[in-house]
Amino acid sequence: MALKKISTPIIREITYDNAAITDFEKNFEQDKNSKYLLRYPTIYIVNDKIKPDKYSVYVGETNNIKRRTTEHLQDDSKTDNFWQKVEHSNNSKIFLIGHDHFNKSLTLDIENKLMHYMTGVDAVELVKNGRSNQQDEYYTSDELDPIFIKIWRKLREKNKQLFPLLSVIQDSAIFKASPFHKLTPEQIEAKDTIILKIEEALNRNRTGQLILVKGEAGAGKTVLLSNLFYELTQLSANESDNSILRGKTQNLLVNHDQQLKVYTQIADKLGIRTKANLEIVEKPTKFINDHLGKKVVDVVLVDEAHLLWTQGKQSYRGENQLDDLLKCARVVVAVFDPHQILSREQYWGLDKLNQMTLDAMSDGNFVELHNQLRIAGNQKTVDWIRSLTDEQRIKNIPADNKYDLHVFDSPQELYEVLKQKSLNEEAGISRLLATFDWKYIDKKKPNDSEYWNVTVGDFSMPWNLQLPQTKEVKRRNKSLAWAEQEQTIGEVGSTFTIQGFDLNYAGVIIGPSVKYRDGKIVFDKQCSQNSKATQRRTYEGQKVDASDTLLKNELNVLLTRGVHGLYLYAVDDQLQQKLLEAQKGIL
């Protein structure tokens, strides 16, 4: 539905206290639009400026704003720290939002969407609500987006700090992993199944019950897990609910530094993680060391479970992190994609992978996501990428007016186009990536250069996490994932910084470890600098060379990052030539 066909929302900003609400009601009653705020379903945003550049926010909906304000200030303030602070604050205000098309379902959906966007606002330190209100189809559901956009634009006129450009929020990693995404029917069915299976497992009161969630890159696994984590925390805290989930503990684990930042931010902003339970989001090794043989928790959720170690490493002294997690929890929900295993420390033999899947299936604890939600192209584009990564075959690049898939003649040309995309706010975050075929040693400087660089002919650019930052920039970047940091447009990302994230446009330099020979893509471990993928490891008493599988997975991760576009350049002459031919459609 076009924006011009949707009427303008009614928005009023007033001080948040009972007296101000009463005065507003008296003075506004004669206004012809008063019924849309005083008698129709209404959305409200309470905001308290807690620092010069930070807010705490509550998003809600009600049919009676005066009664709801009384409940918050007189009842909720007795037990809830948020409302206690609001009650005694001199900076708390409320935005009242009405519309002539508002009905209960629509206001619940817009409330949920406001929660989604406000968690991605830098100036918002805490977002309160206590529920996820996604609605299914209803009479005016097609008006959700146009009405929301009009609401946000009017709110932005009143406070640009609290309501920045939508495009800026949409680029943030916390927005992309938010629990308030409107789930697809497949995700909703998966979430309902998982919650049911968790309840059944808790009823059995046994330790080590595994629920396996499988899906390829871009299938929506992280959003599903984030939503599930938030809902479990709400069910656990709901004193009026007699569910078996009430009072149960849940922990979210991820073995990826960049993804850990995002989940920690989400948990902090939603008040899930506090000083009393800092360990609710953490890495598997610390969790195992704190709990193994000591304390069994109720539910553990593991994102990117394919990154769990299957051998001892650093402070982890066990043999398989998933096996140890199953000893620490009654239920473990593991989100897993075998095609994203990247390191020998994460290697699983095919027999063990198959057995784990079969065991979960036989217990009715296997959930699989099939839809591709990241790549915004048509099915032929998705199939082309899958054919290249899964079958190691190159076909003609299909025409697609929704997705920009382009092969460049040089890495410099690729980078220049990508850089222009990154400067365009509407295009969103775009970054350069590469296979790990150029040397990089963490926390050590090279002897002959200032940085560890990705170098192809005259083109040279530093690997990720190397460019210097001022103290102010470091402070600002502390909670940001690599791709969100401004200076990283001048770096090349790897699987170690980009796995689990998406980019609007991804440029990928396919290094010399990926070649084209005899009509097929092959992998040359001699040309890779990724020792985690190329070195043999001992698995069940035998030395195993898994380099072909791990290098193939590395390529898969890199080529599935782009939402709206994928830009390619291959160092291997035969591969580059074949990609250019595919672009011309002459294969």
Total domains in the fold of the chain: 3
Quick one: average pLDDT of 261-268? Answer: 94
Flag whether pLDDT at 427 surpasses 50. yes
Does residue 351 sit in the same domain as residue 314? yes
Query: What percent of the chain stands above pLDDT 70?
Result: 97
Does residue 191 sit in the same domain as residue 216? yes
pLDDT at 326: 95
In this structure, the number of other CB atoms found within 10 A of the CB of residue 293 comes to 9
Quick check: is 175 in a domain?
Answer: no
What average pLDDT is seen over the chain? 90
Q: Which of 348, 369, 390 is the last residue of a domain?
A: 369
Does residue 435 sit in the same domain as residue 340? no
- Per-residue pLDDT tens over the stretch 274-290: 888 889 999 999 999 99
The Cα-based distances of 23 to 30, 97, 249 in angstroms read 13, 17, 44
Quick check: is 177 in a domain?
Answer: no
- What is the bridge-based pairing of β-strands 54-62 and 42-51? antiparallel
Q: What proportions of the chain, in percent to the nearest 5, are helix, strand and coil?
A: 45, 20, 35
Does residue 362 sit in the same domain as residue 425? no
Quick check: is 98 in a domain?
Answer: yes
Does residue 466 sit in the same domain as residue 387? yes
Quick check: is 180 in a domain?
Answer: no
Does residue 17 sit in the same domain as residue 92? yes
| CATH number of the domain to which 246 belongs | 3.40.50.300
Cβ distance 97 to 45 under 8 Å?
A: yes
Runs of H (alpha helix) within 183-281: 185-204, 221-237, 257-269
Flag whether pLDDT at 547 surpasses 80. yes
pLDDT at 131: 62
pLDDT at 354: 85
The Cα-based distances of 310 to 76, 214, 531 in angstroms read 47, 18, 16
Cβ distance 9 to 106 under 8 Å?
A: no
Does residue 15 sit in the same domain as residue 146? yes
Quick check: is 131 in a domain?
Answer: yes
Flag whether pLDDT at 541 surpasses 80. no
Quick check: is 178 in a domain?
Answer: no
Query: What percent of the chain stands above pLDDT 90?
Result: 64
DSSP 549-563: HHHHHHHHHHHT-EE
In this structure, the number of other CB atoms found within 10 A of the CB of residue 324 comes to 22
- Per-residue pLDDT tens over the stretch 327-375: 999 999 999 998 898 888 887 777 788 888 999 999 899 999 999 889 9
Q: Which of 143, 170, 197 is the last residue of a domain?
A: 170
Say which residue, 398 or 543, is predicted with more confidence. 398
If you count DSSP H runs as helices and E runs as strands, how many of each does the chain have, helices first? 22, 22
Does residue 540 sit in the same domain as residue 576? yes
Quick one: average pLDDT of 297-317? Answer: 91
pTM here is 0.89
Quick check: is 374 in a domain?
Answer: no
Flag whether pLDDT at 443 surpasses 90. no
The residue segments making up the domain with residue 243 are 185-369
Does residue 348 sit in the same domain as residue 453? no
Q: What's the CA gap between 184 and 190, in Å, rounded?
A: 10
Does residue 314 sit in the same domain as residue 407? no
Does residue 193 sit in the same domain as residue 139? no
Q: What's the CA gap between 98 and 9, in Å, rounded?
A: 6
Q: Is the dihedral of CA 273, 274, 280, 282 positive or negative?
A: positive
The type of residue at 515 is K
**Joined tokens for residue 439:** 């040397």
- Per-residue pLDDT tens over the stretch 97-150: 999 999 888 999 999 999 999 999 999 999 988 566 666 666 777 889 999 999
Q: Confidence class of residue 524 from pLDDT cuts 50, 70 and 90?
A: very high
Say which residue, 39 or 308, is predicted with more confidence. 308
Q: What's the CA gap between 2 and 133, in Å, rounded?
A: 25
In this structure, the number of other CB atoms found within 10 A of the CB of residue 474 comes to 11
Does residue 385 sit in the same domain as residue 353? no
Q: Which of 328, 348, 369 is the last residue of a domain?
A: 369
Quick check: is 45 in a domain?
Answer: yes
